Amino acid sequence: MSDYDVIVLGAGPGGYLAAERLGHAGKKVCLIEKEYLGGTCLNVGCIPTKSLLNSAKQYEHALHAEQFGVTASGVEVDWAKVQAWKAQVVKTLVGGVGAAEKKAKVEVIMGEGKLLGPGKVEVNGEVKSADHIIIATGSTPAMPPIPGTKDNPKVLDSTGLLAIDHIPGKLAVIGGGVIGVEFASLFAALGTEVTVVEMLPEILPFMDDEMAAKLRKGTKGVTFNLGCQVKAVEDGTLVFADAKGQEQRLEADVILMAVGRRPLVEGWGAKEAGLEYTPKGIAADDTMRTNLPNVWAVGDVTGKSLLAHAAYRMAEIAVSHILDTEKAAKTGQILRTNTIPWAVYSMPEAAGVGLTEAQALAQGYEIAKATVPLLLSGRFIAENGMKAPGAVKLIADKATGVVLGITVLGPYAPEMIWGAATALELELTVEDLRQVVFPHPTVSEGIREAAWAVKL
Amino acid sequence: MSDYDVIVLGAGPGGYLAAERLGHAGKKVCLIEKEYLGGTCLNVGCIPTKSLLNSAKQYEHALHAEQFGVTASGVEVDWAKVQAWKAQVVKTLVGGVGAAEKKAKVEVIMGEGKLLGPGKVEVNGEVKSADHIIIATGSTPAMPPIPGTKDNPKVLDSTGLLAIDHIPGKLAVIGGGVIGVEFASLFAALGTEVTVVEMLPEILPFMDDEMAAKLRKGTKGVTFNLGCQVKAVEDGTLVFADAKGQEQRLEADVILMAVGRRPLVEGWGAKEAGLEYTPKGIAADDTMRTNLPNVWAVGDVTGKSLLAHAAYRMAEIAVSHILDTEKAAKTGQILRTNTIPWAVYSMPEAAGVGLTEAQALAQGYEIAKATVPLLLSGRFIAENGMKAPGAVKLIADKATGVVLGITVLGPYAPEMIWGAATALELELTVEDLRQVVFPHPTVSEGIREAAWAVKL
């Protein structure tokens, strides 16, 4: 008999949710974590950035409320307090994960787990056995070998910048992905001179180009350099070739390396145990099964999606198959990556789900599309004025009318996008969406306007 | 031949949208309005209240951002500026309606229209004919004959209070519906001493009792008196019997009469033309047809729902049948009142769709339910702290798992509820909803947590 029904390796969103759900279902579960409960997301990812961004947004609002009849003198940011609030939020949520695991009777072991093979894990010098093993080791910031970055105290990854003890005067950001853009927005709002250097011709490569350009142009106080190749860092100077191939030198107090994250596929026995993987992730099918029997992989480590909510869903899928494979098959428990939404908490915010225009065309669709400004929304105008950036773009399959993708740029975008994920999950047509009643006056009505603006 | 294809009586949300859509479809349309383009919603309803509420929320945020590391001294409200901003927002949106009608080649006539019978309307002394007539005359604040209220300058309806030139010191609100609660929240945030007197045992009667109680308890600075009977107003004193039948006297500078709105079924010829109606509204079927041939009714005047977005939907339905009845029938163009969401922009905000627990039980369902706190959401905590009110309640049919109702109390509720309307429109089950991926970290994840918390 095994020591446990299930051992989970890694206590990030995928791991902690899997353990909790299995525990409540009566399974004997062991959750192994080498660093911190809650993983990257809770400790050095989504949650601390959203806490800092909230402070920056509050500051921004307080500074600019005069238009709405609210005046304040001496608006100031106390960075130590901002950081203290972030720490309190993280501590509360990490405590919540610990309490949830305890309630689910999950045994939590702090230590570096090592997969020995199907059913066997070593941790803190002891071998533990289980009927099933779930791999949820996550990801880590990618640090490309740019000359002058290694051991340079002015070069930080996202974890380092989250912990910074002052607001930098000048910040250079290498990489215009979600991490780079969120930090750029955050510090620009607090008065930092921010420059983003991005290799591709547009920021946020997963986002529809037209909408990403709108976000870029709507971001105040950030200089974006697109199509650039970073060559080296010399102390605090970023050396890069611009879009025309000209060498540029950018001085900064802090340089953020934000070129993405890579799945943590090594260092915990994957190779030795015979698990199939590439640098892009552990190979797992759409039920989260790996090539080894009863070894499952969920979350960032699969490389299928590096988003916390995708990890949750993968965990639920693995759990459903572990608990009752027949029922899981009957209720369609498989991963559908095309209906996983994304959100960026920059200023302005953005969110989307499904295909971009370019992706839809590349897949051979003849498309119908519409982009509508949020200035159509009374609430948007009342809360943001007539010049704020905001738009909704909708892409549909011209032949069937099925909605293929929705992107929202503007306030509340992350909170309204789940409806679009639902619409895509159910393969709604534009006509179906037109019949849904949206409350008035909301910014979300922009999605409805886009559905009505599409010409099929 | 008729003068027009369609005459629309009333330029509120139902009327202006119908006219615009018909115009774009190539119809010759006349839109008749006696007072103001945009109707109650744009001029003295949803939009101006949301503008004032936005200012109040900005003030509230500026006052209480210290927890997040943002300090501001001398935070003040300049009520004249608040009102000026409101006026500018209204003016912009009314201008937008005018421009939209012009673009759709709709002829707008300012004047009191009178229905003479099928195909005939009188306005400004002239008789106009049309193949179809759409009645969209809206509603007006109900003013019950409480002694001492008539011609009392201290007693205002919502239109009067929207235009007030100062922040009152003491405000008494008769009626704890959406209008009463929004104004109570608004002025309480600005420092007014606010008391709400409500006849029923709970505020917001359309809202799930449990959730309405949470909203009431979470509203700062407002005293709620439930189960009370207003007897009279004597100058600025509200006389009412409390829940125990004891007479109470409440002094106020301003008394808001907010006991609801009534459909405007009279004064424009309904009776003389032979249109069927009661004080509760013009009789219309679920395709918006009245008893008279080619006479349609949409919006508040039908009494089916007194919400602007319901008026939009009714307008779309009438338009679809006028343009192509066969296609309208095929695409299911009928009014489904059970999937119309509602939103309250109080502090905290709330929104919902479908049945309350009491309604589901009254309809004979055996229900499964869950109420989860928003403190489960990392974003909620990061932005609001650990003590802010917030919850999601989900009601499902125990037999089938179909979701019957969702109520959200907390920030962003109005922006996230369209997803729930979509879920109800498609008759999703709890299991379907569990499989939808919500972006993390959002407050909307509370809906997902509720779906997972329901025990079927």
Is position B52 within any domain?
yes
> A285 Cβ partners below 8 Å, 6+ apart?
none
What is the widest separation between alpha-carbon atoms in chain A?
70
Determine the distance in angstroms separating the CA of A111 from the nearest CA of chain B, rounded to an integer: 26
Give the C-alpha separation, A444 to A436, whole Å.
12
Return the residue in B383, B437, B454 with the most chain A beta carbons within 10 A, the one to mutate for interface testing. B437
pLDDT, tens only, B201-223: 999 999 999 999 999 999 999 99
CB pairs under 8 A between A and B: 281
Smallest Cβ distance to B58: which of A68, A332, A422?
A68
Instruction: State chain A's mean pLDDT as an integer.
Output: 97
Determine the distance in angstroms separating the CA of B353 from the nearest CA of chain A, rounded to an integer: 10
| Interchain pair B65, A65: CB under 8 A | no
B78 pLDDT more than 90: yes
Are both B162 and B40 inside the same structural domain?
A: no
Name the CA dihedral angle for B390, A44, A50, A154, rounded to a multiple of 10 degrees: 160
Q: Is A205 on the interface with B (CB under 8 A)?
A: no
Smallest Cβ distance to A439: which of B83, B351, B434?
B351
DSSP H or E run through B14: helix B13-24
Give the C-alpha separation, A222 to A198, whole Å.
13
Determine the distance in angstroms separating the CA of B249 from the nearest CA of chain A, rounded to an integer: 34
Q: How far is CA A219 from the centre of its chain?
A: 19
Cα angle A273-A276-A277, degrees, rounded to a multiple of 5: 115
> CB atoms < 10 A from the CB of A124, how many?
11
Match 């428990």 to its residue by tokens: A333
DSSP structure class, residue B269: S
Is position B342 within any domain?
no
Task: Give the nearest chain B residue to A444 (CA atoms).
Answer: B415
Are both A15 and A124 inside the same structural domain?
A: yes
pLDDT, tens only, A371-426: 999 999 999 999 999 999 999 999 999 999 999 999 999 999 999 999 999 999 99
DSSP H or E run through B353: strand B350-354
Cα angle B235-B237-B238, degrees, rounded to a multiple of 5: 120
Q: Is A221 on the interface with B (CB under 8 A)?
A: no
Are both B435 and B447 inside the same structural domain?
A: yes
Match 């930092």 to its residue by tokens: A192
Determine the distance in angstroms separating the CA of B383 from the nearest CA of chain A, rounded to an integer: 6
Smallest Cβ distance to A444: which of B58, B84, B418?
B418
Return the residue in A21, A59, A442, A456 with the most chain B beta carbons within 10 A, the one to mutate for interface testing. A442
Q: Which of B24, B64, B166, B440 is catalytic?
A: B440
Q: Is B236 on the interface with A (CB under 8 A)?
A: no
Supply the pLDDT for residue B257: 97
CB A154 within 8 A of CB A253: yes
Smallest Cβ distance to A331: which of B312, B386, B431?
B431
B127 pLDDT more than 90: yes
- Annotation marks residue A132 as catalytic: no
Question: End of a domain among B259, B291, B309?
Answer: B259
B280-302: average pLDDT? 98
> B135 Cβ partners below 8 Å, 6+ apart?
B9, B10, B115, B270, B275, B282, B290, B295, B296, B297, B298, B301
Smallest Cβ distance to B331: which of A42, A47, A431?
A431
Return the residue in B94, B345, B412, B438 with the most chain A beta carbons within 10 A, the one to mutate for interface testing. B438
A68-81: average pLDDT? 95
Q: Which residues of B touch A312 (CB under 8 A)?
A: 437, 440
The β-bridge partners of A241 are A229, A247
Are both B50 and B97 inside the same structural domain?
A: yes
Match 């009643």 to its residue by tokens: A437
Is position B338 within any domain?
no
| Interchain pair B55, A68: CB under 8 A | yes
What's the burial of A99, exposed, middle or buried (CB within 10 Å: 0-12/13-18/19+)? exposed
CATH number reported for the structural domain that contains residue A441 in this entry:
3.30.390.30
pLDDT interval class at B451 (50, 70, 90): very high
pLDDT interval class at B124 (50, 70, 90): very high
Which is nearest to A42 in space by CA: A97, A79, A99, A111? A97
pLDDT interval class at A336 (50, 70, 90): very high
| Interchain pair A415, B416: CB under 8 A | yes
Are both B41 and B132 inside the same structural domain?
A: yes
Q: Kindly indicate whether the ipTM for this predicted assembly is greater than 0.85, answering yes or no.
A: yes
Give the C-alpha separation, B184 to B79, whole Å.
16
Supply the pLDDT for residue A81: 98
Are both B108 and B172 inside the same structural domain?
A: no
Are both A236 and A354 inside the same structural domain?
A: no
Is position A147 within any domain?
no
The β-bridge partners of B374 are none
Supply the pLDDT for residue B288: 98
Are both A446 and A375 inside the same structural domain?
A: yes
Are both B274 and B370 inside the same structural domain?
A: no
Match 């405007």 to its residue by tokens: B264
How many helices (H) does chain B have, and how many strands (E)?
15, 25
> A155 Cβ partners below 8 Å, 6+ apart?
A148, A149, A233, A255, A257
Give the C-alpha separation, B181 to B200, whole Å.
14
Are both B76 and B162 inside the same structural domain?
A: no
- Record the pTM: 0.97
Give the C-alpha separation, B396 to B456, whole Å.
8
| Interchain pair A68, B82: CB under 8 A | yes
How much of chain B is helix, strand and coil, in % rounded to 5?
A: 35, 25, 35
B256-260: average pLDDT? 96
Instruction: State chain B's mean pLDDT as an integer.
Output: 97
CB B136 within 8 A of CB B315: yes
Domain count, chain B: 3
What's the burial of B50, exposed, middle or buried (CB within 10 Å: 0-12/13-18/19+)? buried
Cα angle B206-B212-B215, degrees, rounded to a multiple of 5: 135
Supply the pLDDT for residue B369: 98
> CB atoms < 10 A from the CB of A126, how many?
10
A340 pLDDT more than 90: yes
CB B247 within 8 A of CB B230: no
Question: End of a domain among A241, A259, A277?
Answer: A259
Q: Is A338 on the interface with B (CB under 8 A)?
A: no
CB B42 within 8 A of CB B22: no
Determine the distance in angstroms separating the CA of A384 from the nearest CA of chain B, rounded to an integer: 10
pLDDT, tens only, B43-77: 999 999 999 999 999 999 999 999 999 999 899 99
Determine the distance in angstroms separating the CA of A418 from the nearest CA of chain B, rounded to an integer: 5
Phi-psi category of B184—alpha, beta or left, where left has phi over 0 and alpha has psi -120 to 50?
Answer: alpha
Terminal-residue alpha carbon distance, chain A? 61
Q: Which residues of A touch B428 (CB under 8 A)?
A: 422, 426
Question: End of a domain among A222, A244, A259?
Answer: A259
Determine the distance in angstroms separating the CA of A405 from the nearest CA of chain B, rounded to an integer: 15
Overall size of chain B counted in residues: 456
Task: Give the nearest chain A residue to B327 (CA atoms).
Answer: A431
Give me Rg for the CA atoms of chain A.
Answer: 23
Smallest Cβ distance to B46: which of A85, A93, A441?
A441
Return residues 275-334 of A near B (CB < 8 Å): 307-310, 312-313, 316, 331-333
> A237 Cβ partners below 8 Å, 6+ apart?
A249, A250, A251, A252
| Interchain pair B71, A76: CB under 8 A | yes
Phi-psi category of B432—alpha, beta or left, where left has phi over 0 and alpha has psi -120 to 50?
Answer: alpha
Return the residue in A437, A438, A448 with the most chain B beta carbons within 10 A, the one to mutate for interface testing. A437
The 3-state secondary structure of chain A, one letter per residue: CCCEEEEEECCCHHHHHHHHHHHHCCCCEEEEECCCCCHHHHHHCHHHHHHHHHHHHHHHHHHCCHHHCEEEEEEEECHHHHHHHHHHHHHHHHHHHHHHHHHCCCEEEECCEEEEECCEEEECCEEEEEEEEEECCCEEECCCCCCCCCCCCCEECHHHHHCCCCCCCEEEEECCCHHHHHHHHHHHHCCCEEEEECCCCCCCCCCCHHHHHHHHHHCCCEEEECCCEEEEEECCEEEEECCCCCEEEEECCEEEECCCEEECCCCCCHHHHCCCEECCEECCCCCCECCCCCEEECHHHHCCCCCHHHHHHHHHHHHHHHHCHHHHHHCCCCCCHHHCCEEECCCCCEEEEECCHHHHHHCCCCEEEEEEEHHHCHHHHHHHCCCCCCEEEEEEECCCCEEEEEEEECCCHHHHHHHHHHHHHCCCEHHHHHHCCCCCCCCCHHHHHHHHHCCC
Q: Which residues of B touch A100 (CB under 8 A)?
A: none
Smallest Cβ distance to A62: which of B65, B425, B438?
B65
Are both B385 and B359 inside the same structural domain?
A: yes
Return the residue in A54, A68, A345 with the most chain B beta carbons within 10 A, the one to mutate for interface testing. A68
CATH number reported for the structural domain that contains residue A106 in this entry:
3.50.50.60
Match 């790996």 to its residue by tokens: A290
| B147 backbone dihedrals φ, ψ, rounded to 5° | -55, 135
DSSP structure class, residue B439: P
Give the C-alpha separation, A340 to A306, whole Å.
11
Task: Give the nearest chain A residue to B65 (CA atoms).
Answer: A58
Is position B357 within any domain?
yes
Q: Is A85 on the interface with B (CB under 8 A)?
A: yes
Return residues 45-64 of B near A (CB < 8 Å): 46-47, 50-51, 54-55, 58-59, 61-62
Q: Is B421 on the interface with A (CB under 8 A)?
A: yes
pLDDT, tens only, A168-219: 999 999 999 999 999 999 999 999 999 999 999 999 999 999 999 999 999 9
Smallest Cβ distance to A415: which of B51, B69, B443?
B443
- Written as six digits, the tokens of A126 are 């002891």
CB B450 within 8 A of CB B395: no
What is the domain extent for residue A25? 4-140+262-330
Determine the distance in angstroms separating the CA of B252 from the nearest CA of chain A, rounded to an integer: 25
Q: How far is CA B344 from the centre of its chain?
A: 8
Supply the pLDDT for residue A112: 97
Q: Coil, strand, or helix at residue B377? A: coil
| B429 backbone dihedrals φ, ψ, rounded to 5° | -90, 165
Q: Is A78 on the interface with B (CB under 8 A)?
A: yes
A41 pLDDT more than 90: yes
Name the CA dihedral angle for A64, A67, A73, A75, rounded to a multiple of 10 degrees: -10
Q: Which residues of B touch A414 (CB under 8 A)?
A: 439, 442, 444
Q: Is A87 on the interface with B (CB under 8 A)?
A: no
Is position B337 within any domain?
no
Return the residue in B46, B182, B435 with the most chain A beta carbons within 10 A, the one to mutate for interface testing. B435
Which is nearest to B400 in space by CA: B423, B370, B428, B420? B428
A73 pLDDT more than 90: no
> CB atoms < 10 A from the CB of B394, how many?
30
Q: Is B429 on the interface with A (CB under 8 A)?
A: no
A274-299: average pLDDT? 98
| Interchain pair A69, B50: CB under 8 A | no
Q: Is A89 on the interface with B (CB under 8 A)?
A: yes
CA distances in angstroms from A181 to A69, A176, A184, A204, A277, listed in the order given: 31, 6, 5, 8, 30
Are both A223 and A117 inside the same structural domain?
A: no
Is position A335 within any domain?
no
Is position A149 within any domain?
no
Give the C-alpha separation, B286 to A314, whole Å.
43
